[in-house]
């Protein structure tokens, strides 16, 4: 046997033992025997480096150092999930689904594990990269760290597709978490707060050898890609198991919301016997074609719902109410509490939302309050124990002046929050607007974080986001914790942001109610900042999905002289304030004023590509057929009820070929 064959056989044998131990939980050799074989392979690889393999089992021990984690855009966006807390929520969701898809609907139920989300990319059966969820659009490349997790297969087996992404959670089992904390306490170190945060923090450790020491596991639940040859979610779980992934066995295929609730009720009790933390059940429409029909909102898939187990609640003392100022001037009251353990973390603060909420619950300083942590990341106060209220208790009088600049607060009619009107003289507002401008979904300026922005504002180096483009390396080097290299990275990051496309620049400006989705719609319609600034309220309301509230906010923003000057300065500095020529070349008004419903399976383009073609050519995509529908683009296996409704309303059908011909393809 040749040396190369010896090495390859050892690698394959170790992969199988790894799979038996960490995925199947059924080892066939002792730890000692495994270590002997691993050392034999390490010795051979060291002696014959020409047979190097980036996915060798020997690399799981780690050792690579990553100082700066590269940001990578997800090929397929990682969406959040909508939450539900009752049977009524689920029934409403089911009603919406049945209006949009044909035929019987089955549901796959899976436990919602509480860990750090990860996306793994495989090509030709080998792990190519591992990226954190990030903001769902882009995340950090943590491949070296993920390779140390034994339940992540570095090479697959079976009939896997040539390329796909698989999503899951990196979790830290209770047993391993307890052991880690025992070791930390014995070493005189602070114990970790909870498994979830520890798992998440592990992914960003610079030394992968340190990650390898942690008993992390990777539980997979979603395969994403093109032409995968999979028809249902339940089938995808079975396929993933067969390819070598650790997929929890507790998933269940159900035929009704009643069966879903049986699953929920069972695991609400049994979850306490699981080796991992779980905080709910994820329910997905099983049929992948139906999933495609349902599509996504701007934030979440319509075909999935997270049913959250009842939130944990604790009682503690409210010491003081303080007030925070946001970038829009919105004032948020915050409860400062006697620290208390809740859902695995120590809670010291909770949101009080607004003056109405404080008045409604009659919350006062000194009260014993009930704190809950449900679907929200930030805990909230849900009630007061009036029997324990001190006799000298004084009703809460909401702040009348800004806690930062002292300006009298304002509250517009019909709005819940108070606002500080001093937007150009209130430091948190100035810093907040710039922090929004540089954020990942906006200008994504590398080398510039929130703390540095606050420092730049305090030092008087910047007063607006336009000032960023006048900064020099010499000005920022004297700042605290700023070395020459980091100053250089900051200036280079600002320069590179001039390439960011117009839709993200518009979002970055911080116009109230103009989020990512609204910014895209406005840019697609107006194409330049000048056209948008010239638009009337009536013009804006006629744009697809732009309501009066958004229109008023846009008009109000551009009417301010200082905002006009900011736009002029950004233009001079070279920031993108119109659609690029390449993007513009792909857009036409061919389908202007027409509404399309897309249904079925397509062959020349994917469903998402087809929807984009409609929008790029000025048309509107709708999820359901109505009298306003202009055309139904019908693919193979289209649902009979959609066809029946289209015929009844006299809506013209277009085949895939006919549609592509219509737009000149």
Catalytic residues: 112
State whether residue 290 is helix, strand or coil.
helix
Q: Are 634 and 599 in contact (CB under 8 A)?
A: yes
What is the DSSP annotation of 527-582? -BHHHHHH--HHHHHTSTT--HHHHHHHHHHHHSHHHHHHHHHHHHHT---B--HH
> Nearest-CA neighbor of 513 among 551, 567, 558?
551
Q: Helix, strand, coil proportions of the chain in percent (round to 5)?
A: 40, 20, 40
Which two structure tokens, joined as six digits, stand for 366?
Answer: 């000194």
Which two structure tokens, joined as six digits, stand for 384?
Answer: 């007061």
What is d(CA 511, CA 491) in angstroms, rounded to the nearest whole number?
25
Block residue for tokens 């993108």: 576
What is the DSSP annotation of 46-97? HH-GGG--TT-GGGGG---B-SSPPEEE-SS------EE-SHHHHHHHHHHH
Q: Are 597 and 632 in contact (CB under 8 A)?
A: yes
For the chain, the C-alpha Rg in angstroms (whole number) is 28
What is d(CA 651, CA 626) in angstroms, rounded to the nearest whole number?
9
Q: Could you write out the three-class secondary structure of 352-406?
A: CCCHHHHHHHCCCCCCEEEEEECCCCCCEEEEECHHHCCCCCCCCCCCCECCCCC
> Nearest-CA neighbor of 591 among 562, 550, 633?
633
Q: Are 540 and 555 in contact (CB under 8 A)?
A: yes
């Amino acid at each position: 046997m040749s040396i190369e064959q010896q090495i390859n056989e050892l690698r394959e044998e170790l992969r199988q033992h790894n799979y038996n131990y960490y995925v199947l939980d059924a080892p066939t050799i002792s730890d000692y025997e495994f270590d002997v074989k691993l050392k034999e392979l390490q010795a051979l690889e060291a002696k014959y480096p020409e047979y190097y393999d980036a996915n060798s089992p020997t690399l799981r021990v780690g050792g690579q150092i990553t100082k700066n984690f590269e940001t990578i855009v997800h090929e397929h966006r990682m969406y959040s999930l909508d939450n539900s807390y009752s049977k009524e929520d689920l029934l409403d969701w089911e009603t919406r689904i049945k209006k949009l898809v044909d035929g019987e609907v089955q549901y796959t139920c899976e436990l919602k594990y509480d860990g750090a989300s990860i996306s793994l990319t495989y090509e030709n059966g080998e792990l190519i990269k591992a990226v954190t969820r990030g903001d769902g659009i882009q995340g950090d490349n943590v491949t070296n760290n993920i390779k140390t997790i034994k339940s992540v297969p570095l090479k697959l087996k079976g009939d896997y597709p040539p390329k796909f992404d698989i999503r899951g959670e990196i979790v830290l089992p209770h047993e391993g978490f307890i052991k880690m904390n025992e070791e930390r306490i014995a070493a005189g170190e602070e114990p970790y707060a909870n498994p979830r945060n520890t798992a998440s923090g592990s992914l960003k450790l610079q030394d992968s050898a340190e990650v390898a020491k942690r008993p992390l596991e990777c539980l997979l639940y979603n395969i994403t890609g093109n032409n995968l040859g999979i028809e249902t979610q339940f089938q995808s779980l079975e396929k993933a198991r067969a390819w070598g992934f650790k997929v929890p066995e507790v998933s269940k295929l159900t035929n009704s919301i009643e069966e879903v609730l049986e699953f929920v009720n069972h695991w609400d009790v049994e979850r306490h016997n699981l080796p991992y933390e779980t905080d709910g059940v994820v329910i997905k429409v099983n049929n992948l074609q139906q999933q495609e029909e349902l599509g996504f909102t701007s934030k979440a898939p319509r075909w999935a719902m997270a049913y959250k187990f009842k939130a944990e609640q604790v009682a503690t003392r409210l010491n003081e109410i303080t007030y925070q100022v946001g970038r829009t001037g919105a004032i948020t009251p915050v409860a400062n509490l006697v620290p208390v353990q809740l859902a695995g973390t120590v809670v010291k603060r909770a949101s009080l939302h607004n003056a109405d909420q404080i008045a409604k619950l009659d919350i006062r300083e000194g009260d014993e309050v009930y704190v809950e942590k449900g679907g929200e990341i930030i805990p909230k106060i849900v009630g007061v124990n009036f029997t324990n209220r001190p006799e000298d208790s004084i009703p809460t009088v909401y702040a009348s002046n800004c806690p930062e600049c002292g300006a009298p607060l304002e509250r517009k009619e019909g709005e819940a929050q108070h606002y500080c009107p001093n937007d150009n003289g209130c430091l948190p507002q100035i810093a907040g607007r710039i922090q929004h401008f540089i954020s990942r979904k906006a200008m994504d300026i590398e080398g510039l974080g929130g703390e540095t922005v606050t420092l730049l504002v305090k030092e008087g180096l910047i007063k607006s986001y336009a000032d960023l483009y006048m900064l020099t390396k010499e000005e920022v080097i004297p700042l605290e914790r700023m070395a020459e290299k980091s100053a250089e990275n900051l200036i280079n990051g600002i320069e590179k942001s001039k390439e960011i496309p117009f839709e993200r620049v518009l979002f970055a400006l911080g116009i109230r109610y103009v989020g990512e989705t609204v910014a895209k719609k406005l840019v697609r319609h107006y194409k330049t900042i000048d056209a948008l600034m010239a638009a009337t309220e009536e013009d804006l309301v006629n744009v697809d999905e732009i309501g009066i509230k958004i229109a008023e906010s846009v008009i109000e923003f551009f009417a301010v002289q200082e905002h006009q000057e900011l736009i002029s300065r950004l233009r001079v500095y070279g920031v993108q304030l119109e659609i690029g020529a390449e993007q513009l070349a792909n857009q036409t008004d061919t389908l202007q004023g027409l509404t399309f419903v897309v249904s079925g399976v397509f062959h020349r383009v994917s469903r998402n590509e087809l929807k984009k073609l409609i929008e790029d050519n000025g048309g509107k995509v709708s999820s359901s057929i109505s009298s306003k529908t202009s055309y139904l683009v019908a693919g193979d296996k289209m649902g009979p009820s959609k066809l029946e409704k289209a015929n009844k309303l006299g809506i013209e059908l277009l085949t895939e070929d006919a549609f592509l011909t219509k737009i000149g393809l």
